[in-house]
Amino acid sequence: MNPQADNPLLDIRGLSKTYLGRHNLADRLSGRQQTRVQAVSDVSFDIRAGEVLGLIGESGCGKSTLGRSILRLHEPTTGTVTFDGVDVTGLDDAAMKAMRRRMQIIFQDPYASLNPRRTVAEIVGLPLKLHGLAPTPAEMRDKVAAIVEKVGLKTAHLDRYPHQFSGGQRQRIGIARALVSNPEFIVCDEPVSALDVSIQAQIIELLTDLKQEMGLTYLFISHDISVIGYLSDRVAVMYLGEIVEMGPVESILARPRHPYTQSLMSAVPEVETSARKARVRLTGDLPSPLSPPAGCKFHTRCPLAIDICRKTAPRTEPVGNGHQAACHRLAENLSLLDPVQ
């Protein structure tokens, strides 16, 4: 058992991220309002040391923005991110740079995230250089070679360029770059969704093994409930910038309480849950975050929506065993769902 299992390594309170649209002089003179997109709205959760929190939702729901805001790659608009007791939202540039050694990210698209003009040795060695972790070229080469081998590549690959690798190998380079500074927390931002299905399983196994070996903590972002169900200890479900349900993975898979979570699961035949038997079909597109629906943001697509859902946002309520959800019909929604015959 991990003795640190109950300590929150990361504590996020009231995190929001709003992007402002362009608003030039002509816009101001004509009285045109500046557009605002609230990508993340008042999100709070913690992640314990050694835990994998899976974050799931459709494309465009704000999950990548949330991951990047936690690392301050995108500056949060409001809220706090406390990492190992330190409020990272209050750090100056130098202190934040030092903190990034401990908080890293693996990006979705390994090709776009690797500099095509740099060799593997240069790409993977860059964090060591930035953080002063390898004072001599020989130490740099040794540390880079060690992590490259740990992620399943060969030292013979060190002087090659990203275009000389397959998609799976490129993601291994991205993983090596994230891990070379020996971080504790990693945002895995859809790390397998750009890969062939046959390669996805290898990368998932690699991330699982590295987590055990290096004692890592992950925020694992994905739109794939099978991947999230396999890897996560707890799951947070995001819809239009809000966490609508969160809980232990077994509880979320066996008894999802929010109609949105139920609809995500009923779309995947191999996920064996009560939701599989529920006819909760997700229809229509995600509404634009430029003009989110009033009340419960899911009401435009929810088969269980009633009057209050269109006017009042539901509060997040506990439903037992660390499981919580935000829905006006929590008490009744399981019995209301229409079982498949």
C-beta of residue 126 within 8 angstroms of C-beta of residue 177: yes
Residue 301 beta carbon to ligand SF4: minimum distance, rounded to whole angstroms: 8
- Which residue's CB is nearer to ligand SF4, number 86 or number 331? 331
Residue 310 beta carbon to ligand SF4: minimum distance, rounded to whole angstroms: 8
- Which residue's CB is nearer to ligand SF4, number 167 or number 287? 287
- Which residue's CB is nearer to ligand SF4, number 175 or number 330? 330
Residue 124 beta carbon to ligand SF4: minimum distance, rounded to whole angstroms: 45
Instruction: Give the burial class of 7: count Cβ atoms within 10 A of its Cβ; 0-12 exposed, 13-18 middle, 19 or more buried.
Output: middle
Given the rule CB under 6 A, which residues bind ligand SF4? 258-259, 296, 298-299, 302, 304-305, 309, 314, 327-329
Q: How far is CA 299 from CA 12, 234, 281, 294, in A?
A: 27, 25, 13, 9
C-beta of residue 181 within 8 angstroms of C-beta of residue 127: yes
The dihedral over CA atoms of 292, 296, 300, 304, expressed in degrees to the nearest 10, equals 170
- Which residue's CB is nearer to ligand SF4, number 221 or number 302? 302
First to last CA, the chain: 43
Interacting residues of 146 by C-beta distance below 8 A, sequence separation 6+: none
- Which residue's CB is nearer to ligand SF4, number 63 or number 299? 299
Residue 287 beta carbon to ligand SF4: minimum distance, rounded to whole angstroms: 12
Strands lying side by side in the sheet with 36-48: 36-48, 8-20, 78-83, 86-87
- Which residue's CB is nearer to ligand SF4, number 240 or number 309? 309
Residue 327 beta carbon to ligand SF4: minimum distance, rounded to whole angstroms: 3
Residue 49 beta carbon to ligand SF4: minimum distance, rounded to whole angstroms: 33
| Nearest-angstrom CA–CA distance, 317 and 107 | 33
Instruction: Give the burial class of 71: count Cβ atoms within 10 A of its Cβ; 0-12 exposed, 13-18 middle, 19 or more buried.
Output: buried
Residues facing 80 on adjacent strands: 13
